[in-house]
Structure 1
Amino acid sequence: MPELPEMETYKSLLQPLISGQIITQVTVNREKSINVPVNQFKAQVENQKIEDIQRRAKYLIFHLQNGSCLLLHLMLGGKMFHGKEEDKPDRTVQVQLSFGNQHLYFIGLRLGYLHLLSPEMVKQEFQDIGSEPLDPNFSLDLFQNMMKNKRGKLKTTLLNQEFIAGIGNRYSDEILWHAQLLPDKNIPDLDVAQVNRLYESMRYILQLGIQQGGYMDPLYKEDSKTGKYQMFVHDREGAACPRCHAPIVQKEISSRKTYFCNNCQH
């Protein structure tokens, strides 16, 4: 599932491609991927200029000229591709926004969606979502205060979108590996130095993920930025730990496959 670095990469790449462009046609091949009748969706989206694109947590928000918003959550297996008809991947397209002969394809939206909402409805969708970990106001002091009365395991807590926004199964493993902390460690057992290290690792790994374009496939044909992030531990069971060379192990925590080094994470 795309997480904060992937959605931030998509946002930065889409801005120059479609921001300020007019949606000339809308194609909906799967009605369950949208939240209103197809005719209503098309009537409110076609011939609208995309004014801005924002990211919040794992979502993208496309702001339209008429004040409406398109809220995108790719969920598991979802992706996007921008380009001409002949360049798109050989995958089923659930929704397509056309900009003349260029198209933005929403692919693999089996669980994901593109919802047409008012700005007030978008705000309501986000009312229970936690702090953005890369926000300039997300300080070490704030994080320390958030962790003071927190209970539960580290992995589970990082996955909780009401606690911190945008971190999922992949980057939680990467962050905890970088911080040298075991994913099933209980938060009350952390000392101040470990909390500080977790904060620094969280910001470092997420920024590195953005700098290297996350792990997704290219957004368009000549895209040389997307997908350069190489996982340190996630999905690398049995491989050598990049830090101590012990084998990476996999364990299920909170029904999630979790990857870590049992030797140098403590």
Structure 2
Amino acid sequence: MPELPEMENYKQLLGPRVAGKVITGVDIQREKSLNVPAPLFIREVQGQSITRVERRAKHLLFHLSNAKVLLLHLMLGGWMFFGRREEKPDRTCQVTLSFGDLHLYFIGLRLGYLHLHDPHEVDLLLQKLGPEPLEPIFTFERFVQTMKPRRGNLKVTLVDQSILSGIGNCYSDEICFHAGLLPARSVNGLNAEELGTLYRSMREVLLEAIRYGGYMESPLYAGDELTGSFDCRCRVYDREGEPCVVCGTSIERHEISSKKSFSCPNCQH
């Protein structure tokens, strides 16, 4: 599932390509991916331009010139492709937005969605999300205030979107490895030094993942060599049985609170 780095990568690559462009056509193949009837969606979206693209947690927000907002959550299996019709991947698209000869394909929206909202509706829907880990105002002091009262383990706490927004299964494991902490560790058992290490690791891992286009290897457009480049840089996620890049110990997979988790039993404590 796309997490903060994947969606930030999409925002950075897609924003300049669609900002200011008029949506000349809308094709709906799966109405369940919407929150309003398809005719209403088309009427509100077609003919509008995208003024800007923003990210909040694992969502993208496409702001339209009529002040409406398209709220995207790709969920499991969802991705996007931007390009000409002949460049389109051989996959079923649930929604397509056209910009003349260029098209933005929303693929794999079986669990995900592209919803149409007024700005205040979006604010209400997203207000339950926790702080953004990379925002400058999310200082170490705020991080401690956020984490210290928690009674769960690191894995569950890091992926809880009401506590911190944007981190999921992949980056929770990568952050814990970078910090040398086992994902099963109790959050309220961490001392001040461990919390400091965790905070720095969180920022370093997420920023590195953004720099390398996240771990999902589906290119956004023809010739896109950035998207997915972090996949080969994952140290533990989905690497069960492979040698640790630091010590050579086999990476282990465990179920922690019903969530799969990967870690090095030697480097993490």
Q: What letter is aligned with 1:129? A: L
1:227 aligns with 2:228: yes
Find runs of 4+ consecutive structure 1 residues off by over 6 angstroms.
none
Q: Secondary structure at 1:143's aligned position in 2?
A: helix
- The correspondence of residues 2-13 of structure 1 with structure 2, limited to 5 A, is 2-13=2-13
1:35-73 residue CA offsets vs partner (Å, 9 max, x unmatched): 100100000000000001000000000000000000000
Residue in 2 that maps onto 1:237:
240
Residue in 1 that maps onto 2:268:
265
Question: Equivalents in 2 of 1:140, 1:79: separation in Å?
Answer: 33
1:145-165 residue CA offsets vs partner (Å, 9 max, x unmatched): 222222110000001000000
1:62-114 residue CA offsets vs partner (Å, 9 max, x unmatched): 00000000000000000000001111111110000000010000000010000
Q: Unmatched 5+ residue regions in structure 2?
A: none
Question: Equivalents in 1 of 2:193, 2:250: separation in Å?
Answer: 26
Identity percentage of aligned residues: 54
- The correspondence of residues 149-160 of structure 1 with structure 2, limited to 5 A, is 149-160=149-160
Residue in 2 that maps onto 1:249:
252
Q: What letter is aligned with 1:221? A: A
Deviation, 1:195, is 0.5
Question: Equivalents in 1 of 2:100, 2:148: separation in Å?
Answer: 53
Residue in 2 that maps onto 1:199:
199
Residue in 2 that maps onto 1:112:
112
Residue in 1 that maps onto 2:42:
42
- The correspondence of residues 23-172 of structure 1 with structure 2, limited to 5 A, is 23-172=23-172
Q: What letter is aligned with 2:108? A: G
Q: Secondary structure at 1:17's aligned position in 2?
A: helix
After superposition, the CA RMSD in angstroms is 0.6
Deviation, 1:256, is 1.4
Question: Equivalents in 2 of 1:142, 1:218: separation in Å?
Answer: 36
Deviation, 1:227, is 1.0
Question: Equivalents in 2 of 1:204, 1:73: separation in Å?
Answer: 25
Q: What letter is aligned with 2:192? A: V
Residue in 1 that maps onto 2:188:
188
1:197-226 residue CA offsets vs partner (Å, 9 max, x unmatched): 000000000000000000121100021211
Question: Equivalents in 2 of 1:180, 1:28: separation in Å?
Answer: 46
1:88-144 residue CA offsets vs partner (Å, 9 max, x unmatched): 111110000000010000000010000000001100111110000000111011111
Deviation, 1:252, is 0.7
Count of matched residue pairs:
266
Question: Equivalents in 2 of 1:31, 1:86: separation in Å?
Answer: 24
Question: Equivalents in 2 of 1:254, 1:65: separation in Å?
Answer: 44
Q: Secondary structure at 1:178's aligned position in 2?
A: helix
Question: Equivalents in 2 of 1:8, 1:50: separation in Å?
Answer: 17
Q: What letter is aligned with 1:137? A: I
Question: Equivalents in 2 of 1:254, 1:94: separation in Å?
Answer: 33
